[in-house]
Amino acid sequence: PTRAASVGNVTAMRRMHRFKLVLDDCIIAAVINGQFNVLQYLHAYESVNAFPKHCMQHAAACGYLGIVRFLDTYRLEADAVVRALPKGAQLRVRTAPSASAPESSSHRLNIYDVVSTSSPPLKAPWLQVAWQQSEGYVMASTPDEMPLLVPWESTSFVKVVFVYPETELRHKTTHESVVLELDAYLGVVSVLAADSDDVSYVVMYQGEPYIVEQVDAVIMAERIHESMRFAMNPDLPENATIVVRQWPHRDSDQVDVLTHGQEINGDIRSEDWIKIHEHAWVMWKLASHHNLELLQPVQATSHIEPVEENVQDDTTHTVGLPTESEDNPPSHH
């Protein structure tokens, strides 16, 4: 049970739930390894009446802000917890990975803001990012290794959307409206759906909940349901293979290869990539080849013209979100 919890195997947890094999060690393993989905499952099915109080300390020490907020929702005692980022904290976007470098943007990052990373983490605690039509570097962790930026999927966001300038957002509580001056990536905390034709998202903007209509947003990354499995497009050549890489970039190290007949689960789908686990990403479509699908849901039966040449993963992508520009706006998929 502890092993299943530590790697986020909810399917195994579900099977063991019938035999009441849920231990405090399981919960701690899930917290330490950032397996938010395990904690959600355990709470949803009442496998535990209350999480151990020291879960909060573990989550805070590991920098898992999404888990901290999740546990805090259930009013656990957290007097000893020092929040990683206090309310009102901001991060600067700089022209170089140095605290002495000038800022590249007049806008600063607030809690819940989403940025696109354009390269793997550097050895130094900095990330190269694109945000609000500017590029630069943001300190990703403090010298004592406290995380300042975390992957969106480790938070309570259900998906990330791209919103164009001049889009109107309506505050969820006060109903006041704001109009975006610049494009933005926004984290979605919930989906509001009166019917299939009337869908809107509750997003976080400048630390506050706002509502944006689905038609005004482009889905850039979203969670994959745990029951969904993917296999290679059957119309690809029999000898075709798809490289699994450590990072969603064509130059990243190869960690595995997929062939026909294999099936995989995924955590998130982000532009052209599916995240299998923390250090394994695989391309599921090629935007540069008219969105040719390399992987399809196992139950899918769509037909795609056969590929005459070897498929190569020549599309550059970044963790979480791709970098877009005015000349290359994001497309629906």
Both 68 and 96 in a single domain? no
User: Where does a domain end: 150, 166, 182?
Assistant: 150
Is 124 within a domain?
A: yes
Please give the DSSP secondary-structure letter assigned to residue 288.
G
Query: What is the C-alpha to C-alpha distance for residues 260 and 224, in angstroms, rounded to an integer?
Result: 21
Measure the CA–CA gap between 213 and 109, rounded to whole angstroms: 24
The pair phi, psi for residue 245, each rounded to 5°, is -120, 160
CA distance 160 to 223: 9
The burial class, CB within 10 Å (0-12 / 13-18 / 19+), for 14 is middle
d(CA 33, CA 281): 18
Same domain, 197 and 246: no
Whole-angstrom Cα Rg for the chain:
21
275, part of any domain: yes
**Three-class SS state of 264:** strand
Final residue of a structural domain among 122, 150, 178: 150
Same domain, 116 and 201: no
Query: Do 143 and 165 sit in the same domain of this protein?
Result: no
Residues 260 and 197 in one domain: no
18 and 40 together in one domain: yes
Residue 304 within any structural domain of the chain: yes
Residue 286's nearest CA partner among 247, 228, 233 is 233
What is the number of residues in the chain?
Answer: 333
Please list the pLDDT of the chain residue by residue as tens digits (333 residues). 677 777 767 777 666 655 455 566 677 777 777 777 777 666 655 445 556 666 766 676 666 766 666 665 543 322 222 335 666 778 888 999 888 899 998 888 888 888 888 666 555 578 888 877 788 888 887 776 777 787 888 788 889 999 999 999 999 999 999 999 988 889 999 998 867 678 899 999 988 899 999 999 988 888 888 888 999 999 999 999 999 998 888 888 888 999 999 999 888 888 888 998 878 899 988 877 878 889 998 864 444 433 343 444 433 333 333 333 333 444 433
Bridge partners of 222? 159, 269
How far apart are alpha carbons 141 and 147 in whole angstroms? 4
In a domain? residue 78: no
Q: Would you say residue 201 lies in a domain?
A: yes
Among 250, 259, 280, 256, CA closest to 268: 280
Residue 38 included in any domain:
yes
Regarding whether 215 and 228 lie in a shared domain, the answer is no
**Pair 195, 166 in one domain:** yes
Place of tokens 């139950």: 299
Buried b (16+ CB within 10 A) or exposed e, 194-208: eeeeeebbbbbbeeb
The SS3 call for residue 207 is coil
Same domain, 264 and 328: yes
CATH number of 112's domain: 2.30.30
For 251, the domain range is 224-333
In this structure, the answer to whether residues 232 and 290 fall within a common structural domain is yes
Q: What contacts 283, CB < 8 A, 6 or more positions away? A: 242, 272, 273, 274, 294, 295, 313, 315
Query: Residue 177 sits in a domain of what CATH number?
Result: 2.30.30.40
Residues 21 and 69 placed together within one structural domain of the fold: yes
Say if 110 falls within a structural domain. Answer: yes
Does residue 80 sit within a domain?
no
Q: Is 268 helix (H, G, I), strand (E, B) or coil?
A: strand
Total number of domains in the chain: 4
The count of other CB atoms within 10 Å of the CB of residue 53 is 13
Domain end (from 40, 73, 106): 73
